[in-house]
Structure 1
Amino acid sequence: MTRDQKEKKRRLIKDFRYGIIAELVNPYLESHKFVELLNAKATREYEIPYSKKTTITAAAIRLWIKNYKEHGENGLLPRIRKDSGNPKSFSDKEQNALLTYLEEHPEVPASTAVKVLLKEGGIRANISQSALSRFIVANGVIRSQRIAHKQNERHLKYQFEKPLECIQSDAMHAFPVPFGVEGKMKKAILIAFIDDATRRIVYSSFTHTERSYEFEKGIKHILKTHGHIGKLYTDNGSTFVSDQTKRILSIIGIPLIHSRPGKPAGRGKIERFFRTVRDQFLRPLEKHSITGLSDLNIRFKTWLESEYHRNPHRGLGSQTPLECWMSKVNYIIQTNQNIDL
């Protein structure tokens, strides 16, 4: 295998692992949902790059998550195997049972958890205190860390405080508008990015496609016009997020987080914005008078800046999105000038 082939192998494996854990490192995910999703992933079959295996253990997924949190995507690159700290007397199922119990009961010491699981039958073999300590450290479930994570989870939920700390993005299908010289009708699709903390729309545009190019155009606009994006939150099934888009975000240092299919709880703000667009912009619009995308976008921008951004928002303590944004603008981190956009 040539050097380029080896590098391609490492990259494909890294991308595969990231695809598995992306939903699990979502900061919105509550502990019980994490366990539910983890176990679901551990029971599925996959086409694993450069492997004859078709399944992944929960313990392996947990290790990828730990490495990702400590080292970013580089932590997902395959490397020479070392002692992971996992006790040899524990099966993968037993390791997962212990880790699950510790996450669901963050205040319980690990030694107590082992005793409980031994009694319940979740674990069959006992473990020495030294081996247990290594296991706890290796898997990042020290008691103080678990308690702190639980407390942060209560406060985090679905609310960020600073502009651009988290951006939600999605696409909304509208109605057909004239397209091209012949004026054939083609559906207009609104791609929008909303700031979680202020509800300001930092980029939006009606287009005829959901291709990744349109999504990347929005990201570049935000980085150039507003500042650095802390996290980007999208629907798991978004067609506009290509592998190339993921690599671009990785290079820039923007974590891409997916909501669970069919459960857009974390994307509530973008969903509510789209409802507002339908009720307050599209419904009263005289659709037959629209001459094309350009005309639709001009009318939409006018409504967005004169109505949406300037109307008091219940979720902002009756501030308008624009007022909220301006009151917190000093928290924005500027985009690194060395990044080639």
Structure 2
Amino acid sequence: MMIWEPVKEDREKAERIALFRHGIISPVLYEREEGQNKYFKKLSEQEHYVPGVGLKKYSVSTFKSWLSVYREKGYVGLKPRVRKDKGISRKITPKFAGLLRQILREYPIITYSLLYSHLITEGYIRPYDFTIPTLIKFMKDNKIYLKEKTIVPRRKFEKEHINELWMCDFMHSGTIRDGKKKRETYLCAIIDDCSRVIVGSLWGFSNNLILTEECLKTALLTYGCPKKFYCDNAKVFRSKDLHLPCAKLGIAVIHSRPFESAPRGKIERFFRTVRMKFLPLIDRNKINLEQLNSKFQDWLSKDYHKIPHQGIGEPPIEKFIKDLDNVVPVRVTKEEIDLTFYRTLQRKVKNDSTVSIGRKLYEVPSKYISLNVEIRYPSSRPEELYIFQDDKPCDKLKPLQIHQNANPPKVSLSYTNLLGREKN
């Protein structure tokens, strides 16, 4: 059989394909088989744009295989494998029959054309290695046949517990003072669908990715990981830098369809509550952003979370605590969250042990000279740069001190002492 290992130039493409696959399976990551089959059947009738590949159709079994491998191996399992002997032409050999039988066990419902496409996409073959008719003939000669699988319908899965579904959105709320000027403010809020607890909230001056990440990180640290994270189709929610951390944490990111407002009803009703009950309590001419966030957290803990909610008939925080008897939250530490939400850069270390990032030079240990290194940094603290190996931080980068390097420490040297030593 073939030997597999990652190839550097293919890493970026593999990352994009893994994110594409995660986006496909996210909506039904925690659904039962009936819901999965219905969803995948609909997708199998459509063409999908695959990064680096183009438009492509997939079978139901292919989608289900992605779901299976994600549950077994996590986000890494969604990356396509790359042949170590990539670029070397080869013919169909008898050993290839074993590989085909293994694939058919994993994908019991598949056509010849989809099997051929799968072999190409996964890097087993190249388009010019052989054709579909050649593949069909080889399979028949080796008595390898396609099989059909009967799908057994099941009841639709209904969410009942905390942390099964979180919904996130932004609310615009006018201006407050920022120094000598006034700026627009935005509230990023995340609501737990079951309990109506606001698991994450943060006010900022822009409805951007950084505000979303900081809000989500606080929610994860306080309440654990949800199964699903539901949001609309805004650009900030489509960002790879949001999808990738969620994929690594096992969170399915789901986007609402255009003009579909019903699923977002709970978060929108919460925003109406904020406008009616919280905003009238603040003086926009005398409050700054830090004070706004502090007052809002105080209002949540003393008012919103403690008053019976019309939709559930009890205070949100009591509903959440009560359901802890049925649910064990998936906890993550602050260090794990920070590492997951790091931004990633690729740089080649120069011969003078430096790398250039954002028009600045940084010192790198000499052992990395001429090597391509992976550099990561927290989105909220871009000045903290670390070299990562095997998903672990190894060395912290320091800005290059040009003047310090240009003036090495003085070496004490006395010619009188040297002459004296020679005479002795």
Scaled by the length of structure 2, the TM-score of the pair is: 0.56
User: 1:64 and 1:85 mapped to 2: Cα distance?
Assistant: 9
8 Å contact from structure 1 (residues 170, 234) kept in 2 = yes
The corresponding residue for 1:152 is 156
The corresponding residue for 2:176 is 177
Q: 1:8 pairs with 4, 9, 12, which one? A: 12
The corresponding residue for 1:320 is 315
Gap change, CA 1:208 and 1:64, over 3 Å in 2: farther
TM-superposed deviation, 1:17: 3.1
The corresponding residue for 1:211 is 208
User: 2:289 and 2:193 mapped to 1: Cα distance?
Assistant: 27
Q: Which entry has the higher C-alpha Rg, 1 or 2? A: 2
The 5 A counterparts of 1:110-259 are: 134-136=147-149, 142-143=151-152, 146-147=153-154, 151-153=155-157, 156=158, 159-161=159-161, 163-179=162-178, 181-183=179-181, 185-240=182-237, 242-259=239-256
TM-superposed deviation, 1:272: 1.7
User: 1:323 and 1:288 mapped to 2: Cα distance?
Assistant: 32
Gap change, CA 1:228 and 1:268, over 3 Å in 2: same
8 Å contact from structure 2 (residues 233, 257) kept in 1 = yes
Gap change, CA 1:321 and 1:87, over 3 Å in 2: closer
Gap change, CA 1:78 and 1:227, over 3 Å in 2: closer
* Matched letter for residue 171 of structure 2: M
TM-superposed deviation, 1:275: 1.9
Q: Does 1:309 align with 2:308?
A: no
* Matched letter for residue 190 of structure 2: F
User: 2:259 and 2:38 mapped to 1: Cα distance?
Assistant: 14
The 5 A counterparts of 1:255-294 are: 255-282=252-279, 284-285=280-281, 287-294=283-290
3-state DSSP of counterpart to 2:305: helix
The 5 A counterparts of 1:18-167 are: 18-23=22-27, 27=31, 34=39, 38=43, 42=46, 46=49, 48-51=50-53, 53=54, 55-57=55-57, 59=59, 62-72=60-70, 73-79=75-81, 82-83=103-104, 84-86=107-109, 88=111, 134-136=147-149, 142-143=151-152, 146-147=153-154, 151-153=155-157, 156=158, 159-161=159-161, 163-167=162-166
User: 1:6 and 1:32 mapped to 2: Cα distance?
Assistant: 32
Structure 1 residue runs of 5 or longer lacking an equivalent are 93-129
Higher fraction of strand: 2
User: 2:31 and 2:286 mapped to 1: Cα distance?
Assistant: 41
3-state DSSP of counterpart to 1:174: strand
TM-superposed deviation, 1:5: 0.9
8 Å contact from structure 2 (residues 168, 190) kept in 1 = yes
User: 2:277 and 2:186 mapped to 1: Cα distance?
Assistant: 17
- Superposed CA offset, 1:54-110 (max 9, x none): x33252xx3443123211144533348744444658x88xxxxxxxxxxxxxxxxxx
Higher fraction of helix: 1
8 Å contact from structure 2 (residues 184, 205) kept in 1 = yes
TM-superposed deviation, 1:198: 0.8
8 Å contact from structure 1 (residues 312, 320) kept in 2 = yes
8 Å contact from structure 2 (residues 19, 244) kept in 1 = no
Structure 2 residue runs of 5 or longer lacking an equivalent are 1-5, 84-99, 115-143, 339-424
TM-superposed deviation, 1:320: 0.9
User: 1:50 and 1:35 mapped to 2: Cα distance?
Assistant: 22
User: 2:111 and 2:221 mapped to 1: Cα distance?
Assistant: 51
The corresponding residue for 2:122 is none
3-state DSSP of counterpart to 1:269: helix
Which of 247-256 and 29-38 deviates more?
Answer: 29-38
3-state DSSP of counterpart to 1:339: helix
8 Å contact from structure 1 (residues 196, 269) kept in 2 = yes
User: 1:168 and 1:49 mapped to 2: Cα distance?
Assistant: 28
3-state DSSP of counterpart to 1:191: strand
User: 2:294 and 2:9 mapped to 1: Cα distance?
Assistant: 49
User: 1:245 and 1:251 mapped to 2: Cα distance?
Assistant: 10
3-state DSSP of counterpart to 2:156: helix
* Matched letter for residue 202 of structure 2: S
User: 1:39 and 1:209 mapped to 2: Cα distance?
Assistant: 38
Aligned Cα root-mean-square deviation (Å): 3.5
% same residue: 29
8 Å contact from structure 1 (residues 230, 255) kept in 2 = yes
TM-superposed deviation, 1:199: 0.6
Q: Alignment length, in residue pairs? A: 277
The corresponding residue for 2:399 is none
* Matched letter for residue 201 of structure 1: I
3-state DSSP of counterpart to 2:188: strand
3-state DSSP of counterpart to 2:311: helix
* Matched letter for residue 221 of structure 2: K
3-state DSSP of counterpart to 1:224: helix
8 Å contact from structure 1 (residues 85, 135) kept in 2 = yes
User: 2:173 and 2:208 mapped to 1: Cα distance?
Assistant: 16
3-state DSSP of counterpart to 2:236: coil
User: 2:37 and 2:259 mapped to 1: Cα distance?
Assistant: 18
User: 2:213 and 2:200 mapped to 1: Cα distance?
Assistant: 11
* Matched letter for residue 70 of structure 1: S
3-state DSSP of counterpart to 2:336: coil
